[in-house]
Amino acid sequence: MQDSGIQLAVVDMAGTTVADDGLVVEAFEAAAEAGGLPPSGPQREHARQYVLDTMGQSKITVFRALFDDDDTAQRANAAFEESYASLIAAGRAEPITGAAESLSRLRAGGIKVALTTGFSPDTQGKLISALGWHDIADLVLAPGDGVRGRPYPDLILTALLRIGADSVRSVAALGDTASDIESALRAGCAIAAGTLTGAHDERQLVAAGATHIVTSVSDFADLLLKG
């Protein structure tokens, strides 16, 4: 364990370790069409903005908030997942500069790493495969049965239990959205850090209660290892 007392780093994927490059919004357009939203106008714009505001949350939760019934939400979510997977398959997934090296440095320094996401387990697996990151983390987690997505604390607390960290105060979390920060604070993490490589800016991350703001995952690794 590091002098900092951190045993586990829970790190987001899209926008934090993986460059988003507009992929989520692009995939949303397919979901909007499947959900029956008009191709343009206030309703479509409102939905698009809601997706941006809720970046980091479980996508099915987002679509349930946008659509009136669960069948439509499920149809929209399936279209989103299919579109995002197609973009990944087309080579659109790229790591944030220095991400792989940063995660490796954390593990070499004795800190376990869990990669988390708001995507489904299937989409997370495809993203991991596209990046060749099968061995980059000690654990990968996505929302699923018994594990709610952000802003709930479940992903972080599940990672703690599976890794076997001593307490929530030995956990540091990193994400690029207000939902990531809220999740980390709800979990009681010692560090709830926001990175400036993704969806939300410094003002939004600070307003959400971030304990630290870093320019990238590389600086997050430096923060945890400096002890």
Ramachandran assignment for 204, one of left (phi > 0), alpha (psi -120 to 50 degrees), beta (any other): alpha
> What pLDDT shows up at residue 15?
92
Rounded mean pLDDT of the chain?
A: 92
In 3D space, the residue among 186, 142, 151 whose CA is nearest the CA of residue 168 turns out to be 186
In 3D space, the residue among 177, 163, 159 whose CA is nearest the CA of residue 58 turns out to be 177
> What pLDDT shows up at residue 153?
97
For residues 21 and 91, give the distance between their C-alpha atoms in angstroms, rounded to a whole number: 12
Question: How far from chain centre, in Å, is Cα 56?
Answer: 5
Cis peptide before 143 (omega within 30 of 0): no
**145-181 burial: b if 16+ Cβ within 10 Å, else e:** eebbbbbbbbbbbbbbeebebeebebbbbbbbbbbbb
Q: For residue range 10-53, list pLDDT tens digits in order.
A: 999 999 999 977 888 888 889 999 988 888 899 889 988 888 88
pTM for this model (two decimals): 0.87
User: What's the pLDDT band for 227 if we cut at 50, 70, 90?
Assistant: low
* 8 A C-beta contact, residue 103 and residue 132: no
> What pLDDT shows up at residue 201?
94
Segment 193-210 shows an average pLDDT of 95
Segment 70-96 shows an average pLDDT of 90
Domains of the chain: 8-20+94-226 (3.40.50.1000), 23-90 (no CATH)
Residue 7's alpha-carbon distances to 2, 13, 32, 165, in angstroms, are 7, 19, 41, 6
> What pLDDT shows up at residue 205?
97
Segment 63-74 shows an average pLDDT of 91
> What pLDDT shows up at residue 6?
96
For residues 169 and 158, give the distance between their C-alpha atoms in angstroms, rounded to a whole number: 14
Question: What backbone phi and psi angles, to 5 degrees, belong to 84?
Answer: -65, -40
Task: Provide the terminal-to-terminal Cα distance of the chain, rounded to the nearest Å.
Answer: 10
Q: Give me the helix-helix angle, 70-89 and 23-34, nearest 10°.
A: 140
For residues 151 and 218, give the distance between their C-alpha atoms in angstroms, rounded to a whole number: 24
Residue 1, pLDDT above cutoff 50: no
Segment 183-203 shows an average pLDDT of 96
DSSP one-letter string for 141-197: E-SBTTB--TTSSHHHHHHHHHHT-S-GGGEEEEESSHHHHHHHHHHT-SEEEEETT
Alpha helix segments (H runs only) across 42-177: 42-53, 59-66, 70-89, 99-108, 121-131, 154-163
For residues 209 and 182, give the distance between their C-alpha atoms in angstroms, rounded to a whole number: 7
Q: pLDDT over 70 for what percent of the chain?
A: 98
Q: For residue range 126-171, list pLDDT tens digits in order.
A: 999 999 999 999 999 999 888 999 999 999 999 999 999 999 999 9
